[in-house]
Amino acid sequence: MLKFAANISFLWKDLALPNRVRAAAAAGFDAVEVLFPYDTPAPELKRALDQTGLPLALINCPPPNYTGGERGFAAVPGQEDRFRTDFRRALRYAQALGAGHLHVMSGPAEGSEAETCLIANLQWACDFAPDHSLTIEPINPHDMPGYFLNDFDQAARVIDAVDRANLGLQFDAYHAQRITGDALACWAAHGHRARHVQIADHPGRHEPGSGEIDFPSFFAALVADGYDGWISAEYAPAADVEAGLGWLAEVARG
């Protein structure tokens, strides 16, 4: 059975973060994820999670919010100390809230030295937090120019080189479509590495069914492959959030 989470960094932006958790529960989601929750005191967010019974599927590392700054340091040579400091802080927050996955962002870099740096930092992080699931996510270069991890084959190579059981792939169907032109074929090639999935249609990054990705076939592929992790709705609503949730009701109907 497919399990859906709401990315409340994208959805219900007009509400305070704890109230977005409550809105996600009311809309029928089974979990939430938050990209950068660090501006909200952990006890406030934990209270909303406990009240609704929704687990927190994932948060991003590093803190705080990347607005105006770099989007990670894991692949940036010379920033190893900064990476470790940020990782420790993010891990404490993730543990306080029971976040299932911690997404490690690579940041702006290029070349073989950056890949070597990323592998070493991920090995350190996996060993520092052996009981916590870590993910890396290819992000398309159109939406995030200069971001180091921008290719699924590259991500597979890094995961294999890190060689730790608590590191896996974060598979975003929108990024897969924009990077490769075929999200389903990309899943067929790399889905076996995935421990977290995110969805948005392409183009536009709106609700499933608004663009060119064949989501019924995509969801069927996840079921056929035995994927049992979260599927997070990480999209920009075309209009009202609730008005755009027809896709979720359709999946629930089977």
In the set 33, 115, 207, 234, the catalytic residue is 234
Contact 148, 118 (CB under 8 A): yes
Predicted structure pTM score: 0.97
In the set 33, 115, 137, 207, the catalytic residue is 137
Q: What is the CATH number of the domain that holds 51?
A: 3.20.20.150
Contact 91, 132 (CB under 8 A): yes
Q: What is the mean pLDDT of each run of 10 residues along the chain (254 residues)?
A: 97 98 98 94 97 98 68 95 94 96 97 98 98 98 96 98 98 98 98 98 98 98 98 97 95 83
Q: Per the structure, how many domains does the chain have?
A: 1
Phi-psi region of 111 (alpha: psi -120 to 50; beta: other; left: phi over 0): left
Q: What are phi and psi of 54, to 5 degrees?
A: -85, 130
Q: What is the DSSP letter of 135?
A: E
Instruction: Give me the residue label for tokens 């939406």.
Output: 143
Active site residue 207: no
In Å, how far from its chain's centre is CA 81?
Answer: 24
- 189-199 pLDDT per residue, tens: 999 999 999 99
Active site residue 234: yes
Domain hosting residue 190, numbered range: 3-253
pLDDT attached to residue 76: 96
